[in-house]
A and B are shown apart, each in its own frame.
Chain A
Amino acid sequence: MDIFTQQLINGLVLGSIYALVALGYTMVYGILELINFAHGEVTMIGAMVALSVIGVLLGASPDLPGLMVVIAGLLVAIPACMALAFGIEKIAYRPLRKAPRLAPLITAIGVSIILQNVAMLVWGRQYVSFPAILPRGQHEILGAHITDLQIAIVVLSLLSMAGLWLLVEKTRLGRAMRATAQSKEVAELMGVNVDRVISYTFIIGAAIAAIAGVMVSAYYGLAHYYMGFMLGLKAFSAAVLGGIGNIAGAMLGGLLLGVIEALGAGYIGDLTGGFLGSHYQDVFAFLVLILVLVFRPSGLLGERVASRA
């Protein structure tokens, strides 16, 4: 088996999930210059809600087709996350809109801790396992394996990204979002209800996060009240890598980070003569974050602030 190709595939799969979560960070940052640290937890809640729905459905009738059960879980998780993000913004962030930047940032960390604890109370401290109900076909390409699930994850991610891209670039709401990101005051002067646009930004990011949450729990076969923390940090790193505030950057940064991580995990054993194993893969995301912050703080596709007219 070709390790390089295999890790490239694994990296792209993981990276497409990072990209989806990174989009939520970058969209909110683009408009509010707020790092919404609770976004990782929204992703976790998406996974948990979907798993609960899946559990109930399977409990009621175990013979339901697996794919349909998962889709049903997803269809409940998406609106649940949208409502959650809408509420978070309205209750926790909006009152602090004019406060110094540190205040909403600390609030975001607080919201994230609250959500973790609520999830722990509701779903427990144990890992919640994702039932093995999805088709488990496997294919070979270029000497590596790719599963049906991996293909589905990449395809669904790309579709989500394409949908978001169309929304932002081609619709009236998307134009209002981009205008609001540049100047809330002038957007308001054009008749844009800026508060509503900000709500939509949170809601859209959360819908995508719900999809990512379900995919990541299906991929690893489990979910946990704490899973949003690491996933959120990595997605945030991906957003910074691509250039925070830049939507294409989040997509690119996510995919790239996934690949870097997978290749790093694949080769770290060889590189260190077996001293470090693949469980050090988390190191790579943060190594990348540090390198980007030191050498190119604006990220790969981000513009330098000074170049703004």
Chain B
Amino acid sequence: MSLLSVHGLKVAYGGIQAVRGIDIEVAEGELVCLIGANGAGKSSTLKGIMGLAHPRGEVLLAGERLHKLPTHAIAARGLALVPEGRGVFGRLTVAENLDMGAYARRDRAGIQADLARAYDLFPRLAERRAQLAGTLSGGEQQMLAIARALMGRPRLLLLDEPSMGLAPLMVRKIYETIAMIAAEGVTLLLVEQNAHLALKVSQRAYVMESGEITLSGASAELAANPRVRAAYLGE
């Protein structure tokens, strides 16, 4: 059984249909990516899964219906979204941001252990733990956003354009981190405009166009598909 099943998800803003009834499955331990051009509806899909932007359709986490729940309850059930543009709390310190990631948890000892692990994983954040998050560089903020999401021990981590606006070196670092997180067994759904990167790091992929899924399959196969190569890999 899939960990995440999305059936007929629709998201609309005013009269504009951003997501037109799509199905997505993510199995436990998988890294699945969702690629597509700007405006294809990828971010809206992630928002819809999290219950933001008044979605319609079904979202199931290990069989439990999430689509009737408010966003904070969906988050508390183990879905974490790292939003586009990172969404760190700029006027909270790095440490406070990480605490916010664990907001829904009550196991103090576990939180402490995960905090130590986060600082281990991201030594830059440890150095800057008392600093306001707004003073970090873009790459550091992305690291913080990912570390913060992990503080919730998510069953499924949704990442929205983690490479956006970052220098190539930082992008590489972020993707190494994503691969590492996946290797630890965290299930991931990754949205990315940079299809190269996304298809390389993921096992399966969905291609989205104008609010619909037009192709899906193993990432390696999609990377070899002439249509995908022409449209998304710049060949």
Which segment of A36-44, A104-112, A191-199 sits at the interface? A191-199
Name the residue on B nearest A303 (C-beta).
B91
CB-CB contacts below 8 Å: B68-94 with A: 70-73, 75-76, 80-81, 83, 87, 89-92
8 Å CB contact of B72 from A175, A183, A193, A308: A193
Which segment of B96-104, B165-173, B179-187, B195-203 sits at the interface? B96-104
Judge if B8 is at the interface, Cβ distance under 8 Å: no
Q: How many A-B residue pairs have CB under 8 A?
A: 69
Tally of contact residues, B, Cβ under 8 A: 26
Q: Are A190 and B100 in contact (CB under 8 A)?
A: yes
Name the residue on B nearest A185 (C-beta).
B52
Cβ of A292 to closest chain B Cβ, rounded Å: 22
| Contact of A186 with B90 at beta-carbon distance under 8 Å, contacts A175-B96, A175-B100, A179-B100 already known | no
Q: Are A182 and B90 in contact (CB under 8 A)?
A: yes
In the complex, which residues of chain A have a beta carbon less than 8 angstroms from the beta carbon of B134? Answer: 308-309
8 Å CB contact of B87 from A175, A176, A186, A193: A186
A277 to B103, CA, bound (A): 56
In the complex, which residues of chain B have a beta carbon less than 8 angstroms from the beta carbon of A176? Answer: 100, 103
Judge if B118 is at the interface, Cβ distance under 8 Å: no
Q: Are A179 and B92 in contact (CB under 8 A)?
A: yes
Q: Are B101 and A190 in contact (CB under 8 A)?
A: yes
Judge if B50 is at the interface, Cβ distance under 8 Å: yes
In the complex, which residues of chain A have a beta carbon less than 8 angstroms from the beta carbon of B89? Answer: 178-179, 182-183, 186
Q: Are A191 and B152 in contact (CB under 8 A)?
A: yes
| Contact of A188 with B72 at beta-carbon distance under 8 Å, contacts A178-B89, A182-B91, A183-B89 already known | yes
A187 to B71, CA, bound (A): 10
A69 to B96, CA, bound (A): 43
Cβ of A300 to closest chain B Cβ, rounded Å: 17
A214 to B73, CA, bound (A): 40
Tally of contact residues, A, Cβ under 8 A: 19
By secondary structure, the A interface counts as helix
Q: Are B92 and A191 in contact (CB under 8 A)?
A: no
Judge if A306 is at the interface, Cβ distance under 8 Å: no
Name the residue on A nearest B82 (C-beta).
A189
In the complex, which residues of chain B have a beta carbon less than 8 angstroms from the beta carbon of A182? Answer: 89-92
A191 to B103, CA, bound (A): 6
Judge if A139 is at the interface, Cβ distance under 8 Å: no
Name the residue on B nearest A196 (C-beta).
B72
Name the residue on B nearest A176 (C-beta).
B103
Cβ of A281 to closest chain B Cβ, rounded Å: 36
Chain A 150-173 interface 0/1 with B at a Cβ cutoff of 8 Å (1 = within): 000000000000000000000010
A187 to B90, CA, bound (A): 12
Cβ of B200 to closest chain A Cβ, rounded Å: 27
A183 to B73, CA, bound (A): 17
A308 to B80, CA, bound (A): 25
In the complex, which residues of chain A have a beta carbon less than 8 angstroms from the beta carbon of B99? Answer: 175
Q: Are A189 and B92 in contact (CB under 8 A)?
A: no
In the complex, which residues of chain B have a beta carbon less than 8 angstroms from the beta carbon of A309? Answer: 90, 134-135
Q: Are A191 and B76 in contact (CB under 8 A)?
A: yes
Max chain B C-beta neighbours (<10 A), residue from A178, A183, A309: A309
8 Å CB contact of B103 from A172, A178, A185, A308: A172
A191 to B89, CA, bound (A): 14
Cβ of A180 to closest chain B Cβ, rounded Å: 10
A/B interface sample: 7 pairs, CB < 8 A: A175-B92, A178-B92, A186-B83, A187-B100, A188-B52, A189-B83, A190-B75
